[in-house]
Amino acid sequence: MCDTCGCNVTEGNRHLVEAGGKHATTESGKEAVTVLQNLLSENDHTAAHNREHFDSHNVLAINLMSSPGSGKTALLEATIERLGREFRIAVVEGDLETENDAARVRDKGVEAVQITTGTACHLDAHMVHQALHQLNLDDVDILFIENVGNLVCPASFDLGQHRNITLLSVTEGDDKPAKYPVIFRAADLMLVTKSDLLAVLDDFDPHKAEHHLRHLASDVQCITLSAKTADNLESWFDWLRDEVLAQEERVARGLVQKPRVQPDGAQMHAQQRGHAHDHHHRHDHTHS
């Protein structure tokens, strides 16, 4: 397992691998990969349950992913201000510590449940399931799940959402889709944020960012916008409106929409950690 970032074991699934837990014992020599496979399987089971819950209440669940500081919360604030009377919105906030972002959302008059993950650099389905107990989904049309700021792990864990959105701030560099392909492949929509800064950050080219996205064989829509100046926000709002209608039609027809989860990223991470563990074990053995 990953002992440095804690991305495999979270407060939501820890009970499964602690003493007496369902997956506390693994095959000898395969601990990292086997534990991850088991946890991903349990996560997917809980995610499916979450999605059934959303569908039964006709809720559209959207997972927002990005690096820290890309403008996820600012986008939510602008969305609530513009669409708060059109749709009933609720938010699940994920951060390692503090309720700062949840407080910002509540200040807009919207219910927000804060999840503090501690060492875990992403949300998982168990955490979201626990948060749902604090929400009345009968009063919600759109549930935004603001994931922990991280361009790697969030893409590998299904939360029960219907759509993934990956944000890319113009302050980060237009080559991020090439550098972090897993999370951009997972996107059902890419938002290039903070476009109001393009005048001073002339080394960021939105067209190059989209080119890198297309190089990943992704055909999803790409919108460049600014939550601060409202530049092109209407395109984002129109996308949301279309998705709400699509979700209503799916529910009426008994269809299920799953996001573009990328479990290979988590598997590769575990294998790398497992190889590193084996290397250190052999190294210690030769010096004993």
Mean of the per-residue pLDDT values of the chain: 85
Q: Which residues pair with 193 in a beta bridge?
A: 169
CATH placement of domain 14-284: 3.40.50.300
The CA distance from 159 to 256, in Å, is: 14
pLDDT band at 98 (very low <50, low <70, confident <90, very high): confident
Q: Are 124 and 89 in contact (CB under 8 A)?
A: no
pLDDT of 285 > 60? The answer is no
pLDDT band at 133 (very low <50, low <70, confident <90, very high): very high
At 28 the pLDDT is 46
Distances in whole angstroms, Cα of residue 110 to Cα of each of 88, 117, 167, 262: 8, 22, 22, 31
pLDDT of 220 > 50? The answer is yes
pLDDT in tens, 143-162: 999 999 999 889 989 999 99
The C-alpha angle 78, 81, 84, rounded to 5 degrees, equals 125
Phi, psi angle pair for 91, to nearest 5°? -135, 135
Q: Please report the DSSP string for 89-115 in residue order.
A: EEEEEEESS-SHHHHHHHTTT-EEEEE
Distances in whole angstroms, Cα of residue 218 to Cα of each of 33, 34, 182, 222: 28, 30, 11, 10
Q: Is the model's pTM score more than 0.85? A: no
Distances in whole angstroms, Cα of residue 152 to Cα of each of 81, 123, 169, 183: 30, 12, 16, 6
The C-alpha angle 109, 111, 116, rounded to 5 degrees, equals 125
At 276 the pLDDT is 44
At 265 the pLDDT is 58
At 60 the pLDDT is 98
Comparing CA positions, the residue from 254, 227, 231 lying closest to residue 79 is 227
User: Which region among 30-44, 65-79, 190-204, 274-288 has the lowest average model confidence (pLDDT)?
Assistant: 274-288
